[in-house]
Amino acid sequence: MNYFFQLVISGIVVGSIYALSGLGFVLIYKSSRVLNIAHGQIIAAGAFITYALTVWVDIPIYISFPMSMVLTFFLAMSVERVFLRRLIGEPIISVIMVTIGLMSILDGLIYLTPFGSENFSFPPFLPTTPISVAGVSVSWTQMVGVVITFTLIGAFSWFFKKSTVGISMRAVSDDQMASMSIGISVPRVFGLAWATAGLSAAAAGGIIGNITGLNFETLHAFGIIVFPVVILGGLDSILGAVVAGIIMGLVQQFASGYLDGNWGLSGTGEVMPYIILLVILLFKPHGLFGIHEIERV
Amino acid sequence: MKKKSMIGWMSLLVAVTMLTLPVQSLAGKVYKLGLSLAITGPTSDAGNPYSKGVEDYFNFVNDTKILGDDKIECTIRDDQYNNDVTKRNFEDFISQGIVFYLNYSTGSTLALKKDFEEEKMAVIPASFHAGNLIDSHYIFLPIASYSTQAIGLGEYIVKNHKGGTPKVAMFIHPSAFGRGPVEDLQKAVAAGLKMEIVEVVEHGKDLDNTAMLQRLLSKGVQYVISQTVQSPVATMLKDASGLGLVAKSFGEAGKITFLGCHYTGGNDLIALAGASAENFYWTTSYIVTNEPSPGATAQLELAKKYNRDEKAANSHNYTNGMMVAQVATEVIKRAKAAGKEITKVTLYEELQAMNGDKAFSPGTTVGPVTYSKTDHTGVDTLQLYVVGGGVFKSVGTPFIPVFAEKIK
Amino acid sequence: MSSNRWLATGNYFTSYKEEQRIFFTSLDRAAMSLLLLCLFIWPFFIVVDNKYMLVIDNILVAVIAVMGLNLVTGFAGLISIGHAAFVGIGAYTIASFARVLGDSHALLTHAWPLLILIAGFMGAVFGAIVGLPALRLKHLYLAIATLSFQMIFQWTINFMNFFNQGQTISVGRVVWLTGQVSRSQHYIFWYYAILVVIVFCGFAVRNLLRTRYGRCLVAVRDNDRAADAMGMHPGFTKVYAFALAGFLAGVAGALHAYLYRGVGIESFTLHHSISFLAMAIVGGLGTLPGSFLGPLAIKVLDLQVERLSEWAGAHLTFATNLATALRPLSFGLVIVLFLMFEPRGIANWWRIARSYVKLWPFRY
């Protein structure tokens, strides 16, 4: 039974990190209908900036972490300004391809730095003995990660529900024409959406970087892992990303916890998300919480 | 005015090149070699220092005139871990007339195996996959295969375990690279290696291994042999040390001792796992730079001569690249000393004659490099290292796994 | 038909049938014939290194795959981020035969044209299956469905022992009228083989676009409800667009398997799907010439960048990082710059050049 609870806890921990990674993705999609393939690279960039500030500039991590979030905020904003602003109104395929091109460009830029092909790890700043309750344990890094995740998600929810800017972002996602007519600057909202996505990606990158160490491959793979999460949750729902992230984390943990090693199966945790993804796409394509805009032909 | 001076400079440049070209071709012969590897893309954290090792050593050979007036010209190409590009590079090297080829990944070595056969080109890859040698006459592993390494770790466990049959789990990369040694280790167990393989875990992009570790512990597993790359091992070690599961001494009861093959270890692991890497056991045939030895001195001096940073200089992949270049240089030197013409045929012969008195000790490995017609594995000896105080330290003396021979 | 058979200034059609002609003027036909002739005879006059021959063959294989991608993404407007997986299906069809029969079985070495066709049909079957979600999904969701097919394909190959867990499954040398194709003839032989396939496929696709099935694709892309109202069946159209794309991809995969004499998963990853898309975009989505120009441009760029980065690595010692970063940087920049400044791709330049000739001596 202990094992079961451990799987649940681990699943929630991993899932909330997925949720945070997926959040940035949803933020961009929600306001500007752009599928950002380069999200993994932004996550990696966030992690590297945090490391560079912490170790090379020697800033304590509780300052450098928010600093890198701010820096990535502006990085993502300028990415939108330079690459995507010109493509407003172009067909979807062009926009997807631009983010693919962006992915390559960011790859190239990261290879210019030592992070492209070297490994690093954050200096430990939390106690290494995990929090253990009745045989179920979580490490401090993961715990802090979960706390940051939920704080950020709470903050974003508040931001979208209450603040003027957040409401205007929601308005744009509902109807661009109408928002423009009441004086909301749509391009500015797009820029902001990218910027907030960058902010959340940097947070995700910082947390993942603390858990796995800094390896470019491992980090940018999270850009692909978020796809099943955001589809399951619905591409345009923040709540969806959170719930789906946690479901995905649980499914992965249970799959590898109970299936692997039996009946000659192994590595099922890797593929489970994609099987769920396929099922969801076939039967409920708008996801759990997405807006129903699918049609039959 | 500006245009005129431009033309002046251009003609000067042309004149200089015209002058230097024939001079170069007069001074000694040039032997062409080729290396295709992943400097960017997947596994570039290993490929990058590897390429530096190769490049620096050949520069060293040319600068210090080890081959007299003759020079080695080794073209290094980035294939981004893409087999199709590796093949393209290989074809290019062949048309350039290379006499020796250095390859990199397991995938591309297997993909090009037939081409090596047909071209009769001796090849040393950076992959120690045992399957490279099946049906092949021209592939030479620089050091003991992953399978031998895993078996070596198994033997060490059996020898040092106290009380009963040791229970072992394997933590592997989800690919043929990771799965390769599993079967061979199972064969060794069947052939009488007294241990039990309880579970084989294929890792994904895991953020949390707590459940997996607890499962292994509940099954009584005391040893985990890893065959993968550093990043997943680092994550696992962090979780394990957080949970206090890492054995402080080898085979401590109720805890888990973590061990790994060549690509799981090295300074990259310590860079990723930090303090959690303590007490991780690692086996390879290469020396480490933090323990004084002639090879370590040579490596550090080489890296210093060509202005490499600390990280590259102390990387075991830099050692790896350097050693491969040493072997290539050595066969050319020997063929030259024997008065043979340097071709792929003579180098292949020299490489196969590298045994007995003619065994080669490059200094960067813990044992001599030996090849023969039947033995295409270079260094058969392995050395066990353990992380203590943030560095890898030798445990015991170099050894040769006995079961590796038995299961052949 | 205008009175001058060689140069027709402007359009002069008296029936819709005339508008659908493949060649508008004799100049068109002559130029095409000359181009084909050149493509077939140049190897007799120019000897090329194996490396470049391999690159050329590789471009031709990519042309077939991109033709397929252009059908589904360019003409039918259905985004596919899993095209490399379809190519992989074709290659792994050949590999399965090699695995079951042994890599030099007579079926593989003698009946290879048949096997290439079978691989194409396997591609078509999988294309149709993956196309099924297209009945309900649109735009982004479909893109993600194809992406997940790519992921599941990779995992399956990696996991199954039958497919050698993604490691290379070798394929034997084929036999032709003159006996076994030796290593020295290999690339030139496959150059001709692939060229013949391309000529067939090219004319087939060109002709398809003249038929009602082809026009159906475009109609469904532009407005599927309108297409429905006009009596077309958008669902069926989408599925067969995927099937056709799968067929061409399967053929390309089989040719890839024979050309490289082996099949490994590393040649059919997400990265390759992205490259195919890049080729289609740079060439020009929804155009046939684009399917030829795109692969050519991307592969030539790759070679040139390799050369440049080698030069940079050799001459600027501080620039090793720069040299390695050049490739992803240039690839990304080319995609982005094309999308920003020439979204209709290189095919648009071709179109402009053609219309210039067509209107000559007048300027528009």
pLDDT digits over A102-131, tens only? 999 998 898 888 887 778 888 877 777 777
Residue A275 lies in a domain: yes
How far apart CA B240 and CA B279 sit, in angstroms, is: 12
The pLDDT of residue B22 is 47
**Structural domain ending residue among the three candidates A163, A197, A220:** A220
> For residue range B303-312, what is the model confidence (pLDDT) as tens digits?
999 888 888 8
Query: With pLDDT > 70 as the criterion, what percentage of chain B qualifies?
Result: 93
> Is the pLDDT reported for residue B246 higher than 50?
yes
The pLDDT of residue A295 is 53
Domain count within chain A:
2
Q: How many separate helices (H) and strands (E) can be counted in chain B?
A: 14, 13
Distance from CA of A205 to the nearest CA of C (A): 22
> Is the pLDDT reported for residue B159 higher than 60?
yes
Residue C63's contacts (CB-CB under 8 Å, 6 or more residues apart) are C198, C291, C292, C295, C296
* A143 shares a domain with A66: yes
The pLDDT of residue C3 is 61
The residue written with tokens 């001569």 in the block is B305
A190-215 mean pLDDT: 89
Nearest CA in chain C to B179: C165
The pLDDT of residue A111 is 85
Is residue C83 within 8 Å of residue C245, measured between CB atoms?
yes
The pLDDT of residue B2 is 47
Report CB contact under 8 Å: C167, B95.
no
The pLDDT of residue A140 is 84
> Is the pLDDT reported for residue C92 higher than 90?
yes
B162-172 mean pLDDT: 89
Residue B358's contacts (CB-CB under 8 Å, 6 or more residues apart) are B334
The pLDDT of residue B13 is 52
B168-177 mean pLDDT: 87
The pLDDT of residue B10 is 54
ipTM: 0.86
> For residue range B93-145, what is the model confidence (pLDDT) as tens digits?
999 899 999 999 888 998 899 899 989 999 999 999 988 888 899 999 999 99
Chain B residues within 8 A of C306 when measuring between CB atoms? 77-78
B87 touching C (Cβ < 8 Å): yes
Distance from CA of B266 to the nearest CA of A (A): 11
* A216 shares a domain with A262: no
* A113 shares a domain with A93: yes
B210-219 mean pLDDT: 85
> Is the pLDDT reported for residue A200 higher than 70?
yes
* A104 shares a domain with A200: yes
Helices (H), B199-343: 210-218, 230-242, 267-273, 294-305, 310-313, 316-337
Nearest CA in chain A to B197: A261
C268 pLDDT tier (thresholds 50, 70, 90): very high
Report CB contact under 8 Å: C50, B95.
yes
Name the residue among B83, B94, B179 with its Cβ closest to that of C266. B83
What structural domains and CATH numbers belong to chain B? 28-144+292-375 (3.40.50.2300), 146-284+384-406 (3.40.50.2300)
Lowest mean pLDDT among A41-50, A176-185, C245-254, C354-363: C354-363
> Is the pLDDT reported for residue A7 higher than 60?
yes
* A212 shares a domain with A79: yes
CB pairs under 8 A between A and B: 134
C218-241 mean pLDDT: 89
**Structural domain ending residue among the three candidates A220, A243, A272:** A220
Nearest CA in chain C to A101: C332
* A215 shares a domain with A70: yes
The pLDDT of residue C364 is 58
Report CB contact under 8 Å: A212, B207.
yes
> For residue range B19-33, what is the model confidence (pLDDT) as tens digits?
444 444 456 888 999
Residue A7 lies in a domain: no
Nearest CA in chain A to B276: A128
Lowest mean pLDDT among A270-279, B211-220, C211-220: A270-279
Interface test with B, best of A256, A263, A265, A275 (most B CBs within 10 A): A256
Report CB contact under 8 Å: B83, C309.
no
* A238 shares a domain with A212: no
The pLDDT of residue B125 is 93
Q: What residues make up the domain containing A234?
A: 221-288
Nearest CA in chain A to C224: A297
Lowest mean pLDDT among B33-42, B326-335, C69-78: B33-42
Residue B165's contacts (CB-CB under 8 Å, 6 or more residues apart) are B194, B195, B196
Report CB contact under 8 Å: C168, B83.
yes
Q: Which chains touch A (3 or more CB pairs under 8 A)?
A: B, C
* A93 shares a domain with A237: no
B145-158 mean pLDDT: 92
Query: With pLDDT > 90 as the criterion, what percentage of chain B qualifies?
Result: 37
Report CB contact under 8 Å: B48, A208.
no
Residue A256 lies in a domain: yes
**CA neighbor of A79 nearest in space, from A54, A99, A55:** A99
B173 pLDDT tier (thresholds 50, 70, 90): confident
Average pLDDT, chain A: 85
* A63 shares a domain with A198: yes
Name the residue among A100, A270, A295 with its Cβ closest to that of C274. A100
Chain C residues within 8 A of A35 when measuring between CB atoms? 140, 143-144
Angle at B47 between CA B44 and CA B50, to 5 degrees: 150
**CA neighbor of A67 nearest in space, from A86, A51, A89, A88:** A51
Distance from CA of B286 to the nearest CA of C (A): 26
C317 pLDDT tier (thresholds 50, 70, 90): low
> Is the pLDDT reported for residue B58 higher than 90?
yes
B405 pLDDT tier (thresholds 50, 70, 90): confident
The pLDDT of residue A239 is 87
C168 pLDDT tier (thresholds 50, 70, 90): confident
Distance from CA of B260 to the nearest CA of A (A): 18
The pLDDT of residue C70 is 94
Lowest mean pLDDT among A21-25, B100-104, B305-309, C19-23: C19-23
* A225 shares a domain with A212: no
Q: What pTM did the predictor assign? A: 0.88
Residue A174 lies in a domain: no
Give bridge partners of residue B281 from the DSSP assignment. B259, B386
The pLDDT of residue A297 is 46
Report CB contact under 8 Å: B201, A215.
no
Report CB contact under 8 Å: C54, B111.
no
Q: N- to C-terminal Cα distance for chain A?
A: 48
Q: How far is residue A152 from each of residues A16, A200, A212, measured CA to CA in Å?
A: 11, 8, 21
How far apart CA B261 and CA C63 sit, in angstroms, is: 42
Residue A252 lies in a domain: yes
Distance from CA of C68 to the nearest CA of A (A): 16
B131 touching C (Cβ < 8 Å): yes
Chain B residues within 8 A of A269 when measuring between CB atoms? 204, 206
Q: How far is CA A81 from the centre of its chain?
A: 21
> For residue range C111-144, what is the model confidence (pLDDT) as tens digits?
899 999 999 999 999 999 988 877 777 777 788 8
The pLDDT of residue B23 is 47
B8 pLDDT tier (thresholds 50, 70, 90): low
A112 touching C (Cβ < 8 Å): yes
> For residue range A221-248, what is the model confidence (pLDDT) as tens digits?
888 888 888 888 888 888 888 999 999 9
How far apart CA C188 and CA C186 sit, in angstroms, is: 6
Average pLDDT, chain B: 86
Chain B residues within 8 A of C51 when measuring between CB atoms? 88-89, 91-92, 95
> Is the pLDDT reported for residue A281 higher than 90?
no
How far apart CA B83 and CA B112 sit, in angstroms, is: 8
**CA neighbor of A234 nearest in space, from A193, A283, A291, A182:** A291
Chain A residues within 8 A of B205 when measuring between CB atoms? 218, 221-222, 225, 270
> φ, ψ for residue B251 (rounded to 5)?
75, 20
A159-186 mean pLDDT: 88
The pLDDT of residue C244 is 94
Nearest CA in chain B to C318: B307
B318 pLDDT tier (thresholds 50, 70, 90): very high
Interface test with B, best of C165, C171, C266 (most B CBs within 10 A): C266
Interface test with C, best of A100, A236, A265 (most C CBs within 10 A): A100
B331-342 mean pLDDT: 89
Angle at C14 between CA C13 and CA C20, to 5 degrees: 55
Name the residue among B75, B87, B110 with its Cβ closest to that of C260. B87
* A208 shares a domain with A84: yes
* A259 shares a domain with A233: yes
How far apart CA C154 and CA A251 sit, in angstroms, is: 20
Query: With pLDDT > 70 as the criterion, what percentage of chain C qualifies?
Result: 95
The pLDDT of residue A261 is 67
The pLDDT of residue B5 is 58
Residue A4 lies in a domain: no
A133 touching C (Cβ < 8 Å): no
